[in-house]
Structure 1
Amino acid sequence: MKFSKKLKKKIEDGSFREMWREAKWMFVYIRRYRLIVLIHILLGVLGTAMSLLSSLAMRQLIDVVTGFQTGGIWTAAAYMGGMLLGSAVMQSAASRIAAIINIRVQNGIQAEMYDRMLRTDWQSLKAFRSGDLINRLNSDVGTVANGVTGFLPSFVSGTVQFLGSLIIILCYDPVMALIALVGAPIYVLSSRALVRKMREYNKRMKDIGSQVMSFHEDSFRNIGTIKAFGIMDGFDTRMKQMQDTYRTAMLEYNLFSVIAGLVMSVIGLLISAGCFGWGVYRLWTHAISYGTMTMFLQLTNMLRSAFSTLIGLVPTAISITTSAGRLMAVVELPEEPFARETADIPDDFSIKLRNVSFSYNDGDKVLEHVEFDAHPGDMIALTGASGEGKTTIVRIILGLVRPDEGEAVLTGGDEELTLSAATRRAFAYVPQGNTVFAGTIADNMRMVKPDAADDEIMTALRLACADSFVSKLPDGINSRIGEVGGGLSEGQAQRIAVARALLQKAPVLILDEATSALDEDTERRMLENIRTEGGVKTCIMITHRSATAAMCSRRYELDGTALRLFEREGTT
């Protein structure tokens, strides 16, 4: 009755239920790699079996040497040596196979998680900081991969060693087996408190680790700004505060682990002393031989080691399932609609927003009853105060977010397609800020067209007014640039980003303040190139410059949540 009540409390506590849900999620990967996991298990079991048999061989050898038993001494020695050598070989083979399958499983899970993150609903994923996502993609995936490849083999091998040792001892001396099992109820009864406490600490440590990684990433990405404002001391102070938080949590966890480990060790030593004392008594009364006594000592140690291994799998399981839970939190985010589909785009099409209203997850209205049209041949300016929602309109066009009300569609001929991830290839987009990646200029350009020839790249750079400075670099388009365009000015980085968009040769080009760092003359020449040679049918520009807006055939102005259209006759 007491046991059933305890079990019920554990279930109601929620820890085991949550761990079971996370374990089931991991089991999908265990099933996927079941063959190699099974080979790992078999090698571990064979190694354990040979270790157990070596204890019987040792007993025989000692009894032959001491005259308690007749037989060939060399035969007994060869048998024992063979078992020990076989055990070592099996364990080495299992270790090698574990390394091979671990990296395979880790790469597989990591690639799958990365793909999932890329295709997750944009607004849902924004709830996570990038450093946290990186931590989950690396640290948590590594922990789960270790669990998939190592937990089950360790559990099976530990169980075989425990049961094998116990059965052999039972066959020779049931009393000693009973003494060896005295600690088991204590371990089991303390499991609830241990599991709950370890899970709390484990989750806390992983969350703090993610916060530290996010802080580091933000610091290094904005290191120029930190230096420019002279706020290095402030960031040093924040770093030390985070370190203090981590140290406090780590030392609390360590103290808990040390005390729990000490209690378990004392219990184990008392049990070992009891087994040793009983063995000495049995030897003194001539009830057992020296060989049997030696075997008892070895098997008792193996029994205790196996039990410690199985108990040690509890914190391992907690760490694994905690990491699995953190990955599930991302996996369970909704995937953006049509993320894995590609729509057939009409040759000529228009973009239409009809009575569109939108608000982000925080509930504030950004757009209300917006009407917007863009047709082939249009060069459209989107203007308005900063933060009003111009970029939100672009996100709706790109299918990154979806209207709360109204329709956002692409129309061509008799076709009408809802704007989504499936229609995204119809657009080339240059967002705000620096979007140049580390690598060569050619690498950056070929992201949108992997088979682009050098001549095509130079043509796109020319249209974006970037060829003049790129040709002066030591290695031209093969010159390396750092993270976020390190080594380039803001204007140069913007021109490379525009050139990359033009290389994509999409029908619609969207520039979100993509020329803000250019002087007016360079901007004018670039836009003229785009209009006359860029191969772009429609261009939509977010701008704050009146001269830029004046070059466009139509202008929309966002005022609060309302969008107003200003028609123009021709361009200047």
Structure 2
Amino acid sequence: MEFIKKVIKKIKDGTIKEMYHEAKWIYSYIRNYKMVVIFYIVLGIVGTFMSLAGSIASKYLIDAVTGYDSGRIGLIISVIISMGLGNVAISAVLSRISTKINVKVGNEIRADIYDKIINTDWESMSSYRSGDLLNRLSGDTSTVAGSVIGWIPSLITKSVQFVAILSVILYYDPTMAVLALISAPVTLLVSKVLMKRMRKFNKDIRIISSEMMSFNQETFSNLQSIKAFNLVNVFSNRLRDVQKKYTDVNLDYNRFSIYTSSFMSVVGMVVSYSCFGWGVYRLWTGHITYGTMTLFLQLSGSLSGAFSALIGLVPSAIAATTAAGRIMEIVELPRENMKDEDLVDRIAVTCDDSGLAVEIDNLNFKYADSEKVVLENANIIANPGEIVALVGPSGEGKTTTMRILLGLLNIDEGRSIIKSNDDLECDISASTRRLMAYVPQEKTMFSGTIAENMRMVKEDASDGEIIEALTAACAYDFVSKLPEGINSKIGERGNGFSEGQNQRLSIARALLRNSPILLLDEATSALDVATERRVLRNIMSLNTNKTCIVTTHRPSVLNMCDRVYKISQTQVTEVTTEEVEQMVVDF
């Protein structure tokens, strides 16, 4: 009754309920392979009975050679060899099935989680470090995938093995069965007490593993800056601090495991010696044969081993459900806000010639994790054929405005809309992103060739179209001088090209996309003034109805803009022509 009360308490405090919820999530992937898993379980059960049959056959072989039944030695040996070969074959098949399922389920979960991560609300996801996400996508997913074969089928096959062995021992000697099960209540008690601690250790280890991966990923992404600021020793020392935390957590778990495993080993020794002593006594008194004695020794060890294996599934279940919980934490984040997709499709079809207008109307915004208001009653208009600039001090809301226009952020109050020439309009969201091309200040080129990077936004683009976009972005002058031209390699994050070259390549890619709305977020900051102005002229000459919105710290191109808005201290104000001219003079 006391045990039942404690179980009920654990259910109420959420521990078992949480594990059940996580296990149910794992099952959602298992059911896609249920027929293969069932076949795996059946083979495992067959292997269990073949192994048991081999043990019983060994008993009769020993009895035969000791004179009890010497007439069937050949048949018994044949059975033993057949059972052994059968077990080898089954083990090989099980190994193949296990690998196939692990790989397939692992890939399916990773692909599913990957898709969900990249479609998750940007603001919700931004609080997670990329290394942590990678650890969840790789390590946690591998643990969950391994549990499909390593946990649930093992629970069934080991249970069958336990019951079968116990039945055979009971048939020959009930007392031996009782002795073999001495460890059962002790093992259950230890597992019940330690389950919560195991779960905590699993969480701590996965958290510190994510921290380690995040640190390494961040280091390698910023290696140039680390070297430039002579921070190599600083980061080397930080690594050792993270490693110390990693070591402490793992050693704590190791100490915990040693104590529990040593205790259970002692219990196992007591059971083994008890069974051996009882078997010797029964043999001495003439109640059993040498063959039966051998069978008892084999099966008592197997029974204890099967029970220990069942209990041993508890840590693997905890590891799997803990990993599932970490994955679910990411998967259950809110999805991106996709509004009016059918309406966006209609606008996309009809806007080619006339272009699209962008309007922000009485917009208020603050980030979810902050009380600070970023934009208050903001109003911005950008019409087809216009270049509209956003200026102002750093950190005052220019990039935030760009994120709102891209549908990455959800606004608190007001409206941000796109309007077509035939009076169709829709709220800006993730679905309107298809109508825009975006170029940020930082490097956004991917590893591969220049042409492959360009074709990411237009798969069927011809070499001529790529060259035309590169020319408009003032990039073809250096691309044409490369040994392989547009088929030249680009390193990760644009490695191998200067900041200015990366920006021009990014602008070329945006132009090739040929969206009616172009957003340039400090995208020309690394260009000289003459090149910057030439790029902007080329952009507008390619499509006179393109709507171009730029953020900039340099007022040198402001006199090319149709309108200029200043963002400062949460307010957005339109700048007059005289103020623009004064900005240019002051600069």
Question: Which aligned pairs between 1:207-218 and structure 2 lie closer than 5 A?
Answer: 207-218=207-218
C-alpha distance in structure 1 between counterparts of 2:229 and 2:112, whole Å: 40
- Local SS of the residue matching 1:242: helix
Aligned residue type for 1:235: F
Instruction: Specify the alignment match of 2:564 in structure 1.
Output: 555
Question: Which aligned pairs between 1:335-354 and structure 2 lie closer than 5 A?
Answer: 335-338=335-338, 341=341, 343-344=344-345, 345=347, 346-347=350-351, 348-354=355-361
Return the match for 2:387 from 379, 394, 400: 379
- Local SS of the residue matching 1:72: helix
Instruction: Specify the alignment match of 2:283 in structure 1.
Output: 283
C-alpha deviation, 1:568, in angstroms:
5.3
Q: Note if contact 2:181-2:304 (Cα within 8 Å) is conserved in structure 1.
A: no
- Local SS of the residue matching 2:374: strand
Which runs of no fewer than 5 residues in structure 1 stay unpaired? none
Instruction: Specify the alignment match of 1:81 in structure 2.
Output: 81
C-alpha deviation, 1:70, in angstroms:
5.3
Instruction: Specify the alignment match of 1:537 in structure 2.
Output: 546
C-alpha distance in structure 1 between counterparts of 2:56 and 2:248, whole Å: 49
- Local SS of the residue matching 1:139: helix
Question: Which aligned pairs between 1:91-102 and structure 2 lie closer than 5 A?
Answer: 91-102=91-102
Alpha-carbon distance change, 341 to 280 in structure 1, aligned in 2, over 3 angstroms: farther
Alpha-carbon distance change, 535 to 291 in structure 1, aligned in 2, over 3 angstroms: farther
Aligned residue type for 1:392: T
Instruction: Specify the alignment match of 1:312 in structure 2.
Output: 312
Q: Deviations over 1:466-495 (max 9, x none)?
A: 111111122212211211111111111111
- Local SS of the residue matching 1:166: helix
Aligned residue type for 2:465: E
Instruction: Specify the alignment match of 1:401 in structure 2.
Output: 409
Residue 476 of structure 2 is aligned to residue 467 of structure 1: yes
Q: Note if contact 1:352-1:372 (Cα within 8 Å) is conserved in structure 2.
A: yes
Percent of matched pairs sharing the same residue: 50
Instruction: Specify the alignment match of 1:181 in structure 2.
Output: 181
Residue 487 of structure 2 is aligned to residue 484 of structure 1: no
- Local SS of the residue matching 2:151: helix
Q: Note if contact 2:457-2:512 (Cα within 8 Å) is conserved in structure 1.
A: yes
Instruction: Specify the alignment match of 1:502 in structure 2.
Output: 511
Q: Note if contact 2:339-2:427 (Cα within 8 Å) is conserved in structure 1.
A: no
Aligned residue type for 2:116: R
Return the match for 1:356 from 357, 363, 366: 363
C-alpha deviation, 1:534, in angstroms:
5.2
Aligned residue type for 1:451: D
Question: Which aligned pairs between 1:67-466 and structure 2 lie closer than 5 A?
Answer: 67-69=67-69, 71-338=71-338, 341=341, 343-344=344-345, 345=347, 346-347=350-351, 348-361=355-368, 362-412=370-420, 413-466=422-475
Aligned length: 572
C-alpha deviation, 1:13, in angstroms:
4.2
C-alpha deviation, 1:440, in angstroms:
1.4
C-alpha deviation, 1:341, in angstroms:
4.8
C-alpha deviation, 1:31, in angstroms:
1.3
Q: Note if contact 2:397-2:568 (Cα within 8 Å) is conserved in structure 1.
A: no
Alpha-carbon distance change, 130 to 282 in structure 1, aligned in 2, over 3 angstroms: same
C-alpha distance in structure 2 between counterparts of 1:145 and 1:270, whole Å: 37
Instruction: Specify the alignment match of 1:30 in structure 2.
Output: 30
C-alpha distance in structure 2 between counterparts of 1:133 and 1:562, whole Å: 36
Alpha-carbon distance change, 50 to 497 in structure 1, aligned in 2, over 3 angstroms: same
Q: Note if contact 1:341-1:421 (Cα within 8 Å) is conserved in structure 2.
A: no
Q: Deviations over 1:100-141 (max 9, x none)?
A: 111111110000000000110110001101110011011111
C-alpha distance in structure 2 between counterparts of 1:171 and 1:535, whole Å: 92
Q: Note if contact 1:41-1:152 (Cα within 8 Å) is conserved in structure 2.
A: no
C-alpha distance in structure 2 between counterparts of 1:339 and 1:554, whole Å: 29
Higher deviation after alignment, 5-14 or 399-408: 5-14
Q: Deviations over 1:178-204 (max 9, x none)?
A: 011111111111223311111111100
Q: Deviations over 1:255-285 (max 9, x none)?
A: 1101110001110111011111111111111
C-alpha deviation, 1:386, in angstroms:
0.6
C-alpha deviation, 1:14, in angstroms:
2.8
C-alpha distance in structure 2 between counterparts of 1:232 and 1:322, whole Å: 35
Q: Deviations over 1:508-561 (max 9, x none)?
A: 110000000011111111111111125761110001111122211111111211
Q: Note if contact 1:506-1:536 (Cα within 8 Å) is conserved in structure 2.
A: no
Q: Note if contact 2:356-2:546 (Cα within 8 Å) is conserved in structure 1.
A: no
C-alpha distance in structure 2 between counterparts of 1:535 and 1:476, whole Å: 29
Which runs of no fewer than 5 residues in structure 2 stay unpaired? none
C-alpha distance in structure 1 between counterparts of 2:240 and 2:19, whole Å: 34
C-alpha distance in structure 1 between counterparts of 2:237 and 2:340, whole Å: 45
C-alpha distance in structure 2 between counterparts of 1:224 and 1:205, whole Å: 30
Higher deviation after alignment, 469-478 or 159-168: 469-478
